[in-house]
């Protein structure tokens, strides 16, 4: 149970097609930040800020591996179940762009 204030803050984070798509990809498992840079037609700093926003909302966890940072859904977030419910209603992506193997921007 959340206040309208709390929930609306999280919904604002979710209410963006790029972030929704990023989250959807993370439903399949951890994603390297660089894979998002590959997937979307926006700059690396834009990707970085989307990730920061989701991290600050508590929706993401990160794991550093050498120079790469891998992001995954935070299953312990009080909003995790909402995120999953919403993502389950989002169509899967046409192009799967997984560059975790090489991670070369």
Closest CA to 13 of 62, 60, 45: 60
Does residue 90 touch its own copies according to CB under 8 A?
Answer: yes
Does residue 61 touch its own copies according to CB under 8 A?
Answer: no
Site size for its own copies (CB under 8 A)? 24
Does residue 73 touch DNA according to CB under 7 A?
Answer: no
Question: Looking at residue 89, what DSSP letter applies?
Answer: T
Binding positions for DNA, rule: CB under 7 A: 12, 15-16, 18, 32-34, 37, 41-46, 48-53, 62, 64, 66-69, 102-105
């Amino acid at each position: 149970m959340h206040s309208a204030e709390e929930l609306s803050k999280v919904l604002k984070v979710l209410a963006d097609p790029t972030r929704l798509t990023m989250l959807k990809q993370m439903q399949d498992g951890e994603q390297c930040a660089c894979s998002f840079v590959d997937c979307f037609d926006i700059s690396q700093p834009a990707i970085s800020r989307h990730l920061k926003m989701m991290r600050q909302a508590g929706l993401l966890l990160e794991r550093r591996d050498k120079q790469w940072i891998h992001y995954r859904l935070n299953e312990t977030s009080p909003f995790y179940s909402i995120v999953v419910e919403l993502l389950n209603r989002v169509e899967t992506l046409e192009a799967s762009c997984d560059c975790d193997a090489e991670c070369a921007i």
